[in-house]
Chain A
Amino acid sequence: METSKKPNTRGILDWFDPRGRNVGGWGFIINRLSAIGLTVYLYLHLYMLGKLAQGPEAFDAFIETAKQPAIMFGEMLVIIAGLYHGFNGLRIALNSFGIAVPAQRQLLYGVVGITLIGTVVFGVRMLTTH
Chain B
Amino acid sequence: MQNTLSQPKPGESYLLWLIKIVSGVLIFAVLIIHFLVNHLLAPNGLLSHAEVVAYYRNYPIVPIMEGFFLVFVIAHSLIGSRSIVLDLRPSPALMKVLDYLFIALGLFATGYGIWLLFAVINFGL
A46 within 8 A of B: yes
Q: Which of A29-50 contact B (CB under 8 A)?
A: 32, 35-36, 38-39, 42-43, 46, 49-50
Q: Kindly state the separation between the CA atoms of A89 and B72 in the bound complex, as whole angstroms.
A: 14
Encode B112-125 as 1/0 by CB contact (under 8 A) with A. 11001001100100
Q: Kindly state the separation between the CA atoms of A86 and B81 in the bound complex, as whole angstroms.
A: 16
Residues of A within 8 Å of B, CB-based: how many? 45
Q: Given the complex, which residues of A lie within 8 Å of B84, measured CB to CB?
A: 32, 35-36
Encode B12-41 as 1/0 by CB contact (under 8 A) with A. 000000000100110110010000000100
A12 within 8 A of B: yes
Inter-subunit contact B1/A22 (CB<8 Å): yes
- Identify whether the interface residues of A are mostly helix, strand, loop, or mixed: helix
Q: Kindly state the separation between the CA atoms of A43 and B112 in the bound complex, as whole angstroms.
A: 11
Inter-subunit contact A39/B81 (CB<8 Å): yes
Inter-subunit contact A11/B88 (CB<8 Å): yes
Inter-subunit contact A23/B1 (CB<8 Å): yes
Q: Given the complex, which residues of B lie within 8 Å of A120, measured CB to CB?
A: none
B44 within 8 A of A: yes
Q: Kindly state the separation between the CA atoms of A43 and B106 in the bound complex, as whole angstroms.
A: 11
A116 within 8 A of B: no
Inter-subunit contact B5/A96 (CB<8 Å): yes
Encode A1-41 as 1/0 by CB contact (under 8 A) with B. 10011001001100000000011110010001001101100
Inter-subunit contact A56/B50 (CB<8 Å): yes
Q: Kindly state the separation between the CA atoms of A130 and B27 in the bound complex, as whole angstroms.
A: 27
From B73, which residue of chain A is reached at the shortest CB distance? A42
From A51, which residue of chain B is reached at the shortest CB distance? B49
Encode B77-97 as 1/0 by CB contact (under 8 A) with A. 100110010011100000000
Residues of B within 8 A of A (CB): 1-7, 21, 24-25, 27-28, 31, 39, 44-46, 48-50, 52, 73-74, 77, 80-81, 84, 87-89, 109, 112-113, 116, 119-120, 123
15 A–B contacts from the bound complex (CB under 8 Å): A5-B3, A8-B89, A22-B1, A46-B109, A46-B112, A50-B112, A52-B49, A53-B120, A60-B48, A67-B46, A89-B25, A89-B28, A101-B2, A129-B44, A129-B45
